[in-house]
């Protein structure tokens, strides 16, 4: 198959995001934060709107809003007898609905809503590719830096605290990294499918892994394979790329269940 230029760019961008979404997604799975990730990504459309309103790049608006949301949501616990997953469900969809309304009311701007909601990986330019790779390398380095503390805090926060881990700082750092990955992954699979890129490869990696590091690595590889397979399906059958990537990851997950 001869790769067109746009396919090369799409593959490079998608693989970079998958490499970082894998290990961070493993922590999402270990820390039971799938709903948290979902809520974060759903606020992203507000960020797009904010970007257009203030005239800065939409990506910057997204990063700003998602990080702000992460900071607010990470302090959230159940209130008035409602558990956290219920609250996150409310926040996610309220934020998305608000984002849809604000983008619809923006005057003089035509926003490619489908592109933001379901990803527009085939449209990434070389600048985006460079930005995504830089983000990926930076996030992986930072993750490596907090890996031991974060793993310890994930296994048992109090035990980690007594053993001298700065759990609050470590978890804050992780939340920030997650917010940035959500903003990056939005480019590839879109707002509505971001969580899938975090959770599905990590879940698929579980059955074959014996150590946390092996699971994180396998999640990165399976994510990259999903991006490759999804793009191939998109090229060959003209399927939408973002959803094709998610379906490919899901198939890998099913295979991992059967192999168990």
Partner 1 sequence: MADQQRHKSEDTLLEARGVEVRFKGHAVLSGANVVVRAGEIVTLIGPNGAGKTTLVRAMLGLVKPDSGTVTRRSGLSIGYMPQRVVINPALPLTVKRFLQLGVPGKMFGFSKKVVDVAAILDEVGAAHVATSPMQSISGGEMQRVMLARALLREPDVLVLDEPVQGVDITGQAELYRLIHGIRKRRGVGVLMVSHDLHVVMAQTDHVVCLNRHVCCAGHPEAVSRHPEFVALFGDEVASALAVYAHHHDHHHDLEGHVVENEHQHGEGCDHDHG
Q: Which residues bind partner 1 (CB under 8 A)?
A: 29-32, 144-145, 147-149, 151-152, 154-156, 158-159, 161-165, 203, 206, 209-215
Residue 103 near residue 111 (C-beta atoms within 8 A): yes
| 8-state DSSP, 191 | G
* Distant-in-sequence contacts of 102-109, Cβ < 8 A, 24+ apart: 102/46, 102/49, 102/53, 103/45, 103/48, 103/49, 103/52, 106/49, 106/52, 106/53, 109/52
Residue 256 C-beta: closest distance to partner 1, Å: 13
Q: Toward partner 1, which CB reaches closer, 89 or 212?
A: 212
CA–CA separation, 18 and 205 (whole Å): 13
| CA nearest neighbour of 250 among 186, 181, 197 | 197
Residue 75 C-beta: closest distance to partner 1, Å: 17
Q: Toward partner 1, which CB reaches closer, 80 or 210?
A: 210
Residue 62 near residue 186 (C-beta atoms within 8 A): yes
For 173, counting Cβ atoms within 10 Å of its Cβ (0-12 exposed, 13-18 middle, 19+ buried), the class is middle
Q: Toward partner 1, which CB reaches closer, 201 or 240?
A: 201
Residue 91 C-beta: closest distance to partner 1, Å: 24
Residue 190 C-beta: closest distance to partner 1, Å: 26
| CA nearest neighbour of 40 among 101, 88, 106, 98 | 88
Residue 225 C-beta: closest distance to partner 1, Å: 20
Q: Toward partner 1, which CB reaches closer, 98 or 209?
A: 209
Residue 132 C-beta: closest distance to partner 1, Å: 24
Q: Toward partner 1, which CB reaches closer, 112 or 213?
A: 213
Q: Toward partner 1, which CB reaches closer, 4 or 213?
A: 213
All residues at 6 or more sequence positions from 176 whose CB lies less than 8 Å from its CB, including other chains: 67, 70
Q: Write out the DSSP string of 39-92.
A: HHHHTHHHHHHHHHHHTS-HHHHHHHHHHHHHHHHHT---BTTB-HHHHHHHHH
Residue 259 C-beta: closest distance to partner 1, Å: 15
Q: Toward partner 1, which CB reaches closer, 129 or 151?
A: 151
């Amino acid at each position: 198959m001869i790769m067109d230029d746009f396919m090369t760019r799409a593959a490079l961008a998608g693989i970079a995001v998958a490499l970082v979404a894998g290990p961070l997604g493993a922590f999402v799975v270990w820390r039971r934060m799938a709903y948290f990730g979902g809520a974060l990504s759903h606020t992203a459309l507000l960020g797009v709107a904010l970007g257009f309103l203030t005239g800065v790049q939409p990506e910057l608006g997204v990063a700003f809003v998602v990080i702000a949301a992460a900071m607010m949501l990470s302090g959230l616990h159940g209130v008035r007898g409602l558990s956290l997953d219920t609250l996150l469900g409310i926040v996610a969809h309220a934020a998305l609905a608000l984002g849809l309304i604000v983008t619809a009311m923006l005057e003089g701007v035509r926003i490619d809503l489908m592109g933001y909601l379901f990803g527009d990986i085939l449209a990434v330019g070389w600048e985006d590719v460079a930005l995504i790779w830089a983000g990926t390398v930076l996030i992986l380095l930072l993750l490596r830096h907090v890996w031991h503390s974060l793993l310890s805090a994930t296994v048992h926060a109090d035990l980690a605290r007594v053993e001298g881990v700065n759990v609050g700082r470590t978890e804050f750092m992780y939340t920030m990294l997650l917010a940035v990955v959500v903003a990056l992954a939005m480019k590839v699979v879109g707002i509505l499918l971001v969580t899938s890129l975090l959770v599905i490869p990590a879940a698929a990696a579980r059955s074959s892994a014996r150590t946390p590091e092996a699971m994180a690595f396998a999640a990165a590889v399976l994510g990259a394979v999903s991006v490759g397979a999804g793009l191939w399906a998109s090229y060959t059958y003209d399927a939408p790329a973002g959803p094709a990537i998610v379906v490919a990851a899901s198939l890998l997950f099913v295979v991992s269940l059967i192999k168990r």
